[in-house]
């Protein structure tokens, strides 16, 4: 399944992705530098009510964030 998005509808993409995750706690991302991974993850974290700073997944093994109800990791 594919969802094509841009900055104008990134919140829609984040909502779609969370719905596709079906409660999974870890989501992996793959893309070139500057592809928008951090921007998408920031939108996901906003939807999940994360209060901590969001950082780029490019140079880390895993970024873990505490959501309003649990913990979620982005690789």
- Please give the average pLDDT of every successive group of 10 residues along the chain, which has 75 residues: 87 93 85 87 91 78 74 60
Distance (Å) of CA 51 to CA 22, 54, 63, 71, 73? 22, 9, 14, 12, 14
Whole-angstrom Cα distance, residue 45 to residue 15? 11
Whole-angstrom Cα distance, residue 42 to residue 14? 9
**Other CB atoms within 10 A of residue 43 CB:** 22
Quote the pLDDT of residue 20: 92
Quote the pLDDT of residue 71: 63
Whole-angstrom Cα distance, residue 56 to residue 73? 13
């Amino acid at each position: 399944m594919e969802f094509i998005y841009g900055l104008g509808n990134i919140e829609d993409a984040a909502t779609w992705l969370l719905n596709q995750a079906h409660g999974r706690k870890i989501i992996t991302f793959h893309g070139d530098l500057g592809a928008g991974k951090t921007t998408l993850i920031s939108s996901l974290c906003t939807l999940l009510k994360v209060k901590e700073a969001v950082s780029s997944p490019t140079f880390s093994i895993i970024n873990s964030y505490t959501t309003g109800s649990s913990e979620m990791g982005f690789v």
